[in-house]
Amino acid sequence: MNILIVEASDHYKVLENVYNLIKLNCKNSQLTFYVNKDKDNKARDLLFPDSGDAGWIENPLHFSQFFLYLLFFGWKYDVINISTGPEGTHYSNTLNVLYFYIVSRIYGKKIVLTIKNTRPYLKNTSGILSSVRSSSLKYLRMMTFETQTLMEVFHEESKIPFEKLGISYDRYTDLNTVTEKKSNNKTDYLCVIGLLGVVESERRNYYEIINALRKTHEDIRSKFLFVTLGNSKGGLDNEILFELSQLSKVDITEGWISAEEFEKRGILCDVLISPLKKEMEYGTYKGSGTFGDAIYLRKKLIIPSYTDPRKEFSEISMYYDSIDGLANIFNTIKDGFDNKITEDFYIKFTTKTIYKNLTKKFYKNKKSGEASCSGSNI
């Protein structure tokens, strides 16, 4: 069974998880990834260490014609998963949105589109590009989302039936290969807190953490260790990390970290934190790797309550609604660890469970002679 994974952006960490999701459960699969040109492949090698075991096709044209080139070889594959579509709103996406529509008309019956940002695909979103993207969806075999909440909100606004919608999530608990262990100096700290994502102000409001720490008892915050788990953008010269280091201890890496280092650093944390901005609409209209990272590492998560409005991840989440609320979590941090996360919570995030649920929907209306890689091939 030939499967093509199409990635219009550079989400290599997500691609690695898609690769393992399929390879572990579909024994007769041949995977090929179609991406834009990567000058030196550093990001691919760093975030997708298994990339050498898959086939790769690089777009030889300008990025604005990414989906045009797909028209010429999409026929070779039994299933096409568009991992990231033309979600951008800039005028430079005009051609790609048009070509995406044509691809959907021609290959739609074998396309699974993973929607990371739902706004661009909704009819009620203003603009001709959203209208074209929305029209494309009716030709697709299936759409998947990173959370159940994203899927439900999209269903309510698009009226597309649940039969065509599924949940793929973005991280899977059974792929974590690092065994949890105690750090030699971990006993020196009251709590080790992992900073998820890139340390910058575009998507996350790190000053919520800084201002909350100022309202945290000094004898408590002085025993915190914050650990960067993503790109620290400047390392010690990063303004956010510098201010944070004036209040608590900070363990900083320089630039991007590998998938392996993410695991090793993350597994030593007591809890994770991600102060996602409300205006970014994470949790309702836009996916975030935050919940996936917490699930993958099997850690509790400190998160703004608006990012999980339907409490899909309440078992692992410690919610706050204000600076004072976050300060209260910091001041009573150990109380948040009293309730252990049950193993039952993690079962639905394994590759086996997710693959079974997705293929069940995908092959529900299977036509005679169509290639198959269902649960029976696991």
CB contact set of 141 (below 8 Å; sequence gap of 6+): 108, 109, 110, 111, 112, 164, 362
Provide the residue type at 299 as one letter.
K
Q: Do 175-343 and 2-172+350-377 have the same topology in CATH?
A: yes
In CATH terms, is domain 2-172+350-377 a member of 2.60.120.200?
no
Query: How far is residue 108 CA from its own chain's centroid?
Result: 24
Angle at 169 between CA 267 and CA 362, to 5 degrees: 145
What's the pLDDT score for residue 188? Answer: 78
What's the pLDDT score for residue 376? Answer: 42
What's the pLDDT score for residue 27? Answer: 85
What's the pLDDT score for residue 111? Answer: 98
- Cα separation, 247 vs 269, whole angstroms: 18
- Cα separation, 217 vs 320, whole angstroms: 18
Architecture of domain 175-343: 3-Layer(aba) Sandwich (3.40)
Angle at 131 between CA 363 and CA 18, to 5 degrees: 40
Side-chain half-sphere of 197: how many Cα atoms within 13 Å?
20
What's the pLDDT score for residue 360? Answer: 93
The full set of domain ranges for the chain reads 2-172+350-377, 175-343
- Cα separation, 309 vs 73, whole angstroms: 41
What's the pLDDT score for residue 286? Answer: 95
Tokens 């109380």 sit at which residue? 335
SS3 content of the chain, % helix, strand, coil (to 5): 45, 15, 40
Which segments in the chain show pLDDT lower than 70? 39-41, 178-187, 365-378
CB contact set of 69 (below 8 Å; sequence gap of 6+): 59, 60, 61
